[in-house]
């Protein structure tokens, strides 16, 4: 599990505010990470109070938490659509004058493949974060989920296009992190990412890459919790 940064209160405010968007009867994408967890707990409390929803988890972690707080679950192939997804981010491009405004780096917890499936299928995708995630330009390493057999080839290709790949190591076992899907993770540093859409297209074209953590043009809004309240961005 990655270390939790940022203020817990700010994350809680963001998660709880986003959960207020949910309507009775909604199918809800349940994001992964410490900020989305606050939204999941708030949805659980609303379910206790009578709200009817079905949750679509984006990871083992979000599934376990949803079960714990009593959210009825479903899966992608059993629903007609997803009304809203609430998910965290590792970095959010926050320059309104730049073309990548609202682009995200995700996958700090290794969940970007399922997150991208669920978040992109949602009619509305809402990001929840604390202010430490905002950055004029994306510069965080981009996590790539890769087929185990392909990790060395993918790493070579990333170096060729100017990135520095690092195989993500597990903290509580010897060897690499293995994702929920049985794959490996390469964290790829590219420095400042001036054109996230171009890099996203390039990464998607590398054989062996299952999914990358650049989410470009996907988010509809972000709730950014602060120590005083919640700021909203619309994209």
Indicate which residues carry an active-site annotation. Answer: 115
Two structure tokens written together for 182: 């049985």
Least Å from the CB of residue 105 to ligand R5P: 8
Least Å from the CB of residue 50 to ligand R5P: 28
Q: CB–CB of 203/154 below 8 Å?
A: no
CA of residue 113 relative to chain centroid, distance: 9
Annotated binding residue at 107?
yes
Does residue 32 touch ligand R5P according to CB under 6 A?
yes
Among 13, 34, 183, 188, indicate the residue that binds ligand R5P (CB under 6 A).
34
**Closer by beta carbon to ligand R5P, 160 or else 171:** 171
* Spatial distance between the Cα atoms of 58 and 75, rounded to a whole number of angstroms: 10
Least Å from the CB of residue 215 to ligand R5P: 9
Among 94, 115, 145, 211, indicate the residue that binds ligand R5P (CB under 6 A).
115
DSSP-derived secondary structure letter, 134? E
Does residue 89 touch ligand R5P according to CB under 6 A?
yes
Two structure tokens written together for 7: 């203020």
β-sheet bridge partners, residue 57: 30
Does residue 15 touch ligand R5P according to CB under 6 A?
no
Sign of CA dihedral 201, 203, 207, 213: negative
Does residue 88 touch ligand R5P according to CB under 6 A?
yes
Least Å from the CB of residue 88 to ligand R5P: 3
Q: CB–CB of 31/115 below 8 Å?
A: yes
* Spatial distance between the Cα atoms of 144 and 106, rounded to a whole number of angstroms: 10
Does residue 33 touch ligand R5P according to CB under 6 A?
yes
Q: CB–CB of 214/190 below 8 Å?
A: no
- Residue numbers at the binding site for ligand R5P (CB under 6 A): 4, 31-36, 87-90, 106-112, 115
Q: Residues at the annotated binding site?
A: 32-35, 87-90, 106-109, 133
């Amino acid at each position: 599990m990655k270390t939790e940064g940022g203020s817990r209160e700010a994350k809680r405010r963001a998660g709880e505010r986003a959960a207020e968007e949910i309507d009775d009867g909604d199918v809800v994408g349940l994001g992964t990470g410490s900020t989305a967890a606050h939204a999941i707990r708030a949805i659980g409390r609303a379910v206790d109070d009578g709200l009817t929803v079905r949750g679509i988890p984006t990871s083992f972690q979000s599934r376990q938490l949803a079960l714990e707080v009593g959210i009825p679950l479903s899966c992608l192939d059993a629903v007609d659509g997803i009304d809203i997804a609430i998910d965290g981010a590792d970095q959010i491009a926050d320059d309104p004058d730049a073309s990548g405004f609202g682009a995200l780096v995700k996958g700090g917890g290794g969940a970007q493949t399922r997150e991208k499936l669920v978040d992109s299928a949602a009619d509305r995708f809402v990001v929840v974060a604390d202010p430490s995630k905002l950055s004029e330009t994306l510069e965080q390493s981009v996590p790539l989920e890769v087929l185990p057999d392909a990790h060395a080839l993918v790493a070579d290709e990333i170096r060729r296009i100017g990135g520095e790949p690092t195989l993500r190591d597990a903290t509580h076992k010897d060897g690499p992190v293995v994702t929920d899907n049985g794959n490996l993770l390469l964290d790829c540093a590219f420095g400042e990412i001036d054109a996230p859409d171009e890099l996203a297209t390039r990464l998607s074209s590398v054989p062996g890459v299952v999914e990358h953590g650049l989410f470009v043009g996907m988010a509809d809004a972000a709730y950014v919790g602060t120590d005083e309240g919640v700021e909203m961005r619309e994209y």
